[in-house]
Structures are given as structure tokens and as C-alpha cells.
Amino acid sequence: MKITEVRVIVTCPTRNYVVVKILTDEPGLYGVGDATLNGRELAVATALKEHIAPLLIGRDPDRIEDIWQMLFRGPYWRGGPVQMTALAGIDIALWDIKGKRAGMPVYSLLGGKTRDGVLAYTHAGGSDFNEVEDDVRRKIAAGFKVVRCQVAIPGNAGTYGTGGGAEAASATWREQPGNSHSGRSAWGDGGPMPMVETWEPAPYLRTIPRLFAHLRDQLGDEIELFHDVHERLTPIQAARLAKELEPYHLFFLEDCLRPEHKESFRLIRNHSTTPLAMGELFHSRWDCVPLLTEQLIDFIRCDLGHIGGITEAQKIAHIAETFYVQTAWHGPGDIGPAMHAANVHLDFATANFGIQEMVSFPAQVHEVLPGAPTFERGYLQVSDKPGLGTDVNEEAAAKYPYERAYLPMTRRADGSMMDW
Ligand code: CS2
Ligand code: MG
């Protein structure tokens, strides 16, 4: 069997997705992967079309590990988000082909089911504590057992993730002159620009413990709650937050520090028993290893779409298992249904699975990219069809051409740059 074509489809059914379709010389046998990198979609599409696709034509799609090694080590230049997202798109499509060829769902090829359903979480948010509480109640009524909670911070315009839905939290903003929450313009020239938010640590650190005090008071102890810091704190600020949140028993505290700060997790650990999760900005197993071997985190939550796909994620899961760390793979709206399906296939086959982030895709995404995992009573399921169970409708994709879009940016009150 040989690869005959690598098709790269960029489409915008409400937001941009980069889809990889690998065709083979076996009639009707193809695989579908996702290679979406929010805000840098065309860089990945170009890497795939210009640099990677020509290397794959004529190769045996069964040799996933060898192709992975070739695309990772072959170019000499290692990793980074663009290359690892492109590699993930290829990897996912190859696993889809392998499953279809074997007549088995991918979770079977990865070792078989270790559970009957995949515990999922969604997002709640609001502009004040009561709005967040109401949103959590709605999510509980919809069947969720675990809910991430974000709230607007007094004095911080456009605080990340207060829109509620996971889709809102992972939104990009289409280019728009003057599109700025704070009225501050990124370039000041009136040209296309991302939304710019304002953020200060002091009001944030005061507000978040009070939010969870309110939620525990109103909602009791049974519902699992947690919070995403989105890499905005310094090590000592993160230690303070984790310590002050201890009484509210969070499921975990997500992404406290920037991805470069691995050794600083020791400081947080020394001060608190709040469980810690980290990883959506990591690009390889080597980013994870220091946190795993020292047991500095409790949940590893890389994005399969940005670390090279199932092949790399299963290796990370196995290293994590050795150190009693559970998986919680990133599952925002800015990765496509094929990657969400890959998450859930791997979750099913992972003994040390912890939890899965999920989104509900809008109708246009289902039309273009059918087969996303389904949610019922707190748990996700995937199709038992051979492969991943997702597809791409190329005619429908063509109706929604690419639209340039940026992630928001954040600045401090004095105008200096902050991490979004
Ligand atoms: C977020 C993401 O889902 C999450 O945990 O941190 O929505 C993240 O902001 C986006 O994936 C960025 O593209
Ligand atoms: Mg996050």
C-alpha cells in the first residue's frame, strides 16, 4: 500500500480548521487528520503542502512510527508549534487509515478500552459570581460532573474565558480595525489587529479564591470545579493562589505558569496540595518529562494537535503512568473534530486517563467535519467504526473559505505586554 496524495483543506465553518486528507492506492481508503494551529493556520498548511506532502508520496502509510521519526528528526530543525501541528495532522490521518484497513476503531489498536465512557468537562463563566453560579447550574443540568469556572475580574477589561462556553474561551477574533476591548490599539495605525485585553495580577489574585468560596457555598461539595490560570502568574503568585484555593478542593488548577517555567512548579508544590495540571503549550515529551519524573503536576494536558498526534501522546501517557500522573488532553474549539476523536480514542485506551476537555461544535462544523465524539450524562463516546470515525465533506468545506483571525493579546495597565 502506498500514499498517493496528501490533501490540505483550509476551511472556516465559523472558525478556521486545517484538515489533512491522506489518500492511498487502495480504492476508497483514505485517512482524515486535523492540523489546526489557532491564529497561524496558513503557516501549518504551507508546511504541509510545500515541505511534508512531497516526502510522503509513495510511502507505506502503515509505517506510522517511522514516518513520525522521519518528519521529527529528518528536517534537522526540531519541533515548535508549526512543525508539531503539521506532524500531528499526518499522524492522526495515518492512524485513521490503519484503523480502517484493520477494520478496527483506533482505541482497539491502541490497546483496547480501559473504561466504558470518557469523563468530560466543560466551561462556565460570567461577569460576576452569580452569573458563573447560574452557568455552572446549567452545566450540571446538562449532565456535567466537572466544570471549569472563569469570572471577569473587576478592573480587568475582557478577562479571558468569561464568555462561558468552551467555544468562547477558545475564540479568535477576526481582523477588524479598532477591535480592542480596552480601547488600546496594538499598533495604533488603525489597521487589522487582534483584540487587546487588560490584565493585572492583584485584582485577579483577590477575586479567584472569593469566586470559589461563593461557588462552594452555593453549590456544595459534590460538583467538581476547577480554574484555568492561562499561564499568567509568576511562581510565587501561583503558589499563593494554589494555597488559598485549597479549602475549595479544586479538581485541578490549570496552567499556572508559562511553559518555560518547569522547575518553578517545585515552588507551588512546596506550598499547596491543590492538584496541578499543565501542558497545552508543550510541544514534545521532553517538555513533560521534568514535571512527570519529579511528580510536580497531577494531570498532563498537552494538545495532541500540537505535540505530533496520538503517537507522541501515547508515549507521554505511558511515562506519566509510571509517575502516577493522569492525562487531561487539551480539547478546545480551535482543534477540529478529528483531533477530538483522537483524544477520546486515546482516553479509552489509557489506564491513567484523568479527564477530557470537550466542546459542542456548531452545526456548520458537523456539516463539514462529521463524526465528533458524542456526550451523554457526563461522559464522551466515539464511534466503533473502523478508524477514528470522523470525515471531511470537501464540497461543504469549500463553502466556508479561510478568514484571517487572531487570538487576543493582553497588556498590563501600564501598557506593557502580558501573556494572553
Ligand atoms: C484554553 C484554550 O481550553 C483551554 O484550556 O486554554 O481555549 C486556549 O486558550 C486555546 O486553545 C488557544 O487557542
Ligand atoms: Mg487552558
Q: Mean pLDDT, to the nearest integer, of 150-166?
A: 68
Q: Enumerate the active-site residues.
A: 160, 230
Ligand 1 pocket, mutate which of 170, 195, 302 (most atoms under 8 A from CB): 170
In this structure, the residues whose C-beta lies within 6 A of any atom of ligand 1 are 38, 169-170, 228, 230, 280, 330, 332, 334, 357, 407
CA nearest neighbour of 104 among 271, 400, 345, 380: 345
The pTM of the whole model exceeds 0.85: yes
How far apart CA 221 and CA 188 sit, in angstroms, is 48
How far apart CA 318 and CA 313 sit, in angstroms, is 9
Task: Look at residue 158 in the predicted model and tell me its pLDDT.
Answer: 63
Task: Look at residue 253 in the predicted model and tell me its pLDDT.
Answer: 98
Task: Look at residue 14 in the predicted model and tell me its pLDDT.
Answer: 95
CA-to-CA separations, 132 to 126, 127, 342, in angstroms, rounded: 5, 7, 31
Q: Is it the case that residue 257 has pLDDT exceeding 50?
A: yes
Beta strands in 314-357 (DSSP E): 326-327, 356-357
Q: What percent of the chain has pLDDT over 90?
A: 88
How far apart CA 119 and CA 97 sit, in angstroms, is 27
Task: Look at residue 173 in the predicted model and tell me its pLDDT.
Answer: 42
**Closest C-alpha residue for ligand 1 atom 9:** 170
Q: Is it the case that residue 223 has pLDDT exceeding 60?
A: yes
**Strands 417-418 and 3-11, how do they pair?**
unpaired
Burial of 197: CB neighbours in 10 Å, binned 0-12, 13-18, 19+: buried
Alpha helical stretches, state H, 39-79: 41-46, 53-56, 64-73
- Three-state secondary-structure class, residue 178: coil
User: Which residues are registered as beta bridge partners of 408?
Assistant: none
Task: Look at residue 174 in the predicted model and tell me its pLDDT.
Answer: 40
pLDDT digits (tens, 9 = 90+) for 40-69: 999 999 999 999 999 999 999 999 999 999
**Closest C-alpha residue for ligand 1 atom 8:** 170
- Three-point CA angle 272, 274, 277, nearest 5°: 120
The answer to whether the beta carbons of residues 328 and 277 sit under 8 Å apart is yes
Task: Look at residue 169 in the predicted model and tell me its pLDDT.
Answer: 40
CA-to-CA separations, 244 to 122, 240, 265, 268, 368, in angstroms, rounded: 24, 6, 16, 12, 45
Task: Look at residue 154 in the predicted model and tell me its pLDDT.
Answer: 86
Closest ligand (CA of 305): 1
Residues 6+ apart with CB under 8 A from 242: 253, 256, 268, 271, 272, 274, 276
How far apart CA 184 and CA 387 sit, in angstroms, is 48
CA 241 to chain centre: 23
pLDDT digits (tens, 9 = 90+) for 333-376: 999 999 999 999 999 999 999 999 999 999 999 999 999 999 99
- Three-state secondary-structure class, residue 97: helix
**Closest C-alpha residue for ligand 1 atom 3:** 332
pLDDT digits (tens, 9 = 90+) for 171-202: 444 433 333 333 333 333 444 578 888 999 99
CA nearest neighbour of 163 among 177, 183, 181, 179: 181
The rounded Å distance from CA 51 to ligand 2 centre is: 30
Task: Look at residue 193 in the predicted model and tell me its pLDDT.
Answer: 72
Ligand 1 pocket, mutate which of 34, 172, 280 (most atoms under 8 A from CB): 280
How far apart CA 11 and CA 14 sit, in angstroms, is 9
How far apart CA 388 and CA 340 sit, in angstroms, is 10
- Return the minimum-mean-pLDDT range out of 142-151, 173-182, 222-231, 392-401: 173-182
Q: Mean pLDDT, to the nearest integer, of 25-45?
A: 98
The answer to whether the beta carbons of residues 221 and 250 sit under 8 Å apart is no
Q: Which atom of ligand 1 is nearest to the CA of 169?
A: 7
Residues 6+ apart with CB under 8 A from 344: 107, 118, 356, 373, 380, 381, 382
The rounded Å distance from CA 85 to ligand 2 centre is: 17
Beta strands in 163-210 (DSSP E): 173-174, 196-198
Task: Look at residue 160 in the predicted model and tell me its pLDDT.
Answer: 62
What is the residue type of 78? R
Task: Look at residue 162 in the predicted model and tell me its pLDDT.
Answer: 57
The rounded Å distance from CA 193 to ligand 2 centre is: 23
The rounded Å distance from CA 213 to ligand 2 centre is: 22
pLDDT digits (tens, 9 = 90+) for 82-110: 999 999 999 999 999 999 999 999 999 99
Domains along the chain with CATH numbers: 3-104 (3.30.390.10), 118-385 (3.20.20.120)
Q: Is it the case that residue 15 has pLDDT exceeding 50?
A: yes
Q: What percent of the chain has pLDDT over 70?
A: 91
Q: What is the mean pLDDT of the chain?
A: 92
**Closest C-alpha residue for ligand 1 atom 4:** 332
Residues 6+ apart with CB under 8 A from 320: 288, 292, 300, 326, 327, 352
